[in-house]
Structure 1
Amino acid sequence: MNLPEREASVRRLLEQTPPPVPPELYVDVVRRGGRMLRRRTVARRLMWLLLFAAAVAFVVWAATARPWVEPPSQTTPPLTGW
């Protein structure tokens, strides 16, 4: 098949009317689609909740541990009594 023949066959396929969809199949697809959307919504909310909990835990840890403060040096004794 050359290019114009392929294009013509594809156009014929696209112009045909699709076969009718059985009504019970439509109901089943709508039910499954709704279930998928609910699961996706729940998963998205759980991920946001987990992200929020991790952010709160990090802020609490940073506020109590203060990792930006340099720890006191313990390698040399302090200079006292000079």
Structure 2
Amino acid sequence: MSMPDRKEIQVRELLEGPHPVVPAGLAASAAERGDRLLRRRRAAGRFGWTVLFAAVAVFAVWALLTHPWTVPPSGVSPPLEGW
């Protein structure tokens, strides 16, 4: 059997030793921070969806007004009609 690694020995010593005392308000502050992060994430999502919807609406209005799918008339030569 091989000798245990130095890091493994240190980890075993940490796990077997006395455990540190947890601060009294740690759970409450962690829950408060989690709520704050969740509110920020939701607000960012709402903002993103609002910006996306506004961009789609602006694009639709622009497309309806300018008709980008139609071919513009050629300005090189006059139309050949009445020959």
* Deviations 1:32-66, CA, capped at 9 Å, x for gaps: 22111111111111101111221222222223222
Unaligned runs of 5+ in 1: none
Change (3 A) 1:75 1:11: same
State, as a whole percentage, how many aligned pairs show the same letter.
Answer: 47
Tell me which residue corresponds to 2:70: 69
Tell me which residue corresponds to 1:58: 59
The count of residues paired between Structure 1 and Structure 2 equals: 81
TM-score, with normalisation over the residues of structure 1? 0.74
The one-letter amino acid of 2:24's match is P
TM-score, with normalisation over the residues of structure 2? 0.73
Query: Does residue 29 of structure 1 match 2:30?
Result: yes
Tell me which residue corresponds to 2:50: 49
Unaligned runs of 5+ in 2: none
Whole-Å Cα distance in 1 between the matches of residues 17 and 61 of structure 2? 64
Change (3 A) 1:61 1:15: farther
Structure having the higher helix fraction is: 1
Please provide the CA RMSD for this pair. 2.3
Tell me which residue corresponds to 1:80: 81
Whole-Å Cα distance in 2 between the matches of residues 3 and 60 of structure 1? 71
